Amino acid sequence: MTDPTESTEEEKDLTLRENFRLLLRASKGFWLVNQINFFDGIAYFGILMLLTRYLGPSGLGMTDKVTGFSVSLYTGLVTLFMFGGGFVSDKLGVRRALTWSLIVIGAGRVLLTIAPAFEGMSQVSAWTGLMLMALGTGVMQPALYAGIKEYTDPRTATIAFGLLYSIMNLGIVAESFISPFLRSDATFLNLGFMEIVGLGWGINGVYWMAIAVTGLMLLIHITFFTRKVEETDRTVVEEEKDDDGDKTWIEKLKELPFADPRFMFFIFILLPVRTIFAHDFLTVPDYVFRCFPETVSAKYEWIHGMNPLIIVIFVPTIAAFTRKAKIVNMMIIGTLITAIIPFILVPGPHLWTLLTYVTIYSLGEAVWSSRFLEYVARLAPAGRVGAYMGLAGIPWFMAKFTTGLYSGSMLAHFVPESGPHNSGTMWMVYACIACISPVTLLLARKWLLKGVPEAEE
């Protein structure tokens, strides 16, 4: 089998314009995969960004500690289910895996949204909905990654994975713009002769929007992503598997990247810096609602929307201009930016520090996030991308789950719903934890470079 990390001279000589031109002419399958990527960005993050508020003391009545654990368990299970979901995706194929995952996700989002109607059982309904959503998303994510590899030109892999990440974030931008109008009844624009006021539907209104979007993308998927599209648009041919039946489980496990010590170190050392990503939905929402006036919290989604907007612009751009750069170098630079920026929040809650934090944090994310996906996809043989992506997500599961074990307690102690606040100390602790990743990556750089695929040289 040809090494997926190898590239021909023709591929190396492609200009940036030629790379984007090839992507614009990509197959229908590629763009149908990305329509789910876009719409689920709206629905998934529309729910997640308000989930602590929905479940917490001002919503379904969970304590800060239970809320943090619940949200962390949900997001952690998404990643944990990706482990098995990758194998399910490879077994069913991209098209069918996406169909079934959308159905399961939709059912879960309905149960979560109608939870307040079940008096005395609202939290049970919410938890059941979250588990179904986690299961469906755990299959969907590796199926999306596999779809990008299967329905795009191998010469444009770097930009294609950057585009995947950007399109998801474009969906988050759309959600961030719409959500405040649905949720709040605040005045968003007053020109004297014209006043734009929110609908005031609350968080439930945002969640019903997410359900409607889920139904729309399922309809588009089953209508246009036909078996014919699946069979004719694929650009990757699966490797021969005739001998798989003769292999023992031990031999099959040895073929996975978990047997590579550099790969294991590489993905697990990112756990500390990934906690900053987890705080984006575990800590930042309550931090904004509790530490800032209503004029700021009413537009919280707009502030958060700066992150995906920056990602949309800079991920494909940075990926294109650094496509020949060593992944390890990009990871060190990007994680360092992500890790040190929380220190700017230490002096206290100020709008300018919050906006600066979101901006710089987003730039750091743009530098390294899509390159990590590309690295894993390069290692995976054809037909096993979903499994590899699922395995590589285990550290992300650990980051999300472990962060939720203490985020609620930290909020209750440093930024309680009522009482004095000391948010600066909280952010200093979080920044120090995150700095472990870039420092260790820098110390291990030479050793890590020896295991980087040849295409990175």
Fold of 13-237+251-456: Growth Hormone; Chain: A; (1.20.1250)
Q: Are 401 and 76 in contact (CB under 8 A)?
A: yes
Q: Are 28 and 159 in contact (CB under 8 A)?
A: no
Using left for φ > 0, alpha for ψ between -120 and 50, and beta otherwise, residue 260 falls in beta
Q: In which band, very low, low, confident or very high, does the pLDDT at 288 lie, cut at 50, 70 and 90? A: very high
3-state secondary structure of 188: strand
**pTM to 2 decimal places:** 0.71
Cα–Cα distance for residue pair 67/90, rounded to 1 Å:
34
* Tally of CB atoms within 10 A around 412: 18
For residue 189, what are the β-bridge partners? 196
Cα–Cα distance for residue pair 327/454, rounded to 1 Å:
11
pLDDT, residue 353, reads 94
State the residue for tokens 């098995």: 84
Q: Determine the average pLDDT of the residues in 419-435.
A: 93
Range in 148-152, 175-179, 448-452 with the lowest mean pLDDT:
448-452
Residue 36, classified by CB atoms within 10 Å of its CB into exposed (0-12), middle (13-18) or buried (19+), is buried
pLDDT tens-digit map of 202-243: 889 999 999 999 999 999 998 988 887 776 655 555 544 445
- How many helices (H) and strands (E) the chain has is answered by 23, 2
Instruction: List the structure tokens of 448.
Output: 């890590």
Domain boundaries, the chain: 13-237+251-456
Q: Are 125 and 65 in contact (CB under 8 A)?
A: no
C-alpha 128, offset from chain centre: 22
Instruction: Report the percentage of the chain scoring pLDDT > 90.
Output: 26
What is the secondary structure of 66-114 as a DSSP string? HHHHHHHHHHHHHHHHHHHHHHHHHHH-HHHHHHHHHHHHHHHHHHHHT
**Highest-scoring range by mean pLDDT, 128-132, 305-309, 448-452:** 128-132
Q: Determine the average pLDDT of the residues in 350-360.
A: 94
Cα–Cα distance for residue pair 46/48, rounded to 1 Å:
6
Q: Determine the average pLDDT of the residues in 130-149.
A: 88
> What percent helix, strand, coil does the chain show, rounded to 5?
75, 0, 20
pLDDT, residue 376, reads 67
pLDDT, residue 349, reads 92
Cα–Cα distance for residue pair 378/157, rounded to 1 Å:
9
Q: In which band, very low, low, confident or very high, does the pLDDT at 385 lie, cut at 50, 70 and 90? A: low
| pLDDT at 134 exceeding the cut of 60 | yes
pLDDT tens-digit map of 145-156: 878 777 766 555
Q: Are 36 and 144 in contact (CB under 8 A)?
A: yes
Q: Are 138 and 77 in contact (CB under 8 A)?
A: yes
Nearest to 92, CA basis, from 140, 50, 128: 140
pLDDT tens-digit map of 232-283: 655 555 544 445 556 666 666 666 666 667 777 877 888 899 899 889 888 9
Cα–Cα distance for residue pair 226/212, rounded to 1 Å:
22
Average pLDDT, the chain: 80
Nearest to 273, CA basis, from 440, 43, 51, 133: 440
pLDDT, residue 135, reads 93
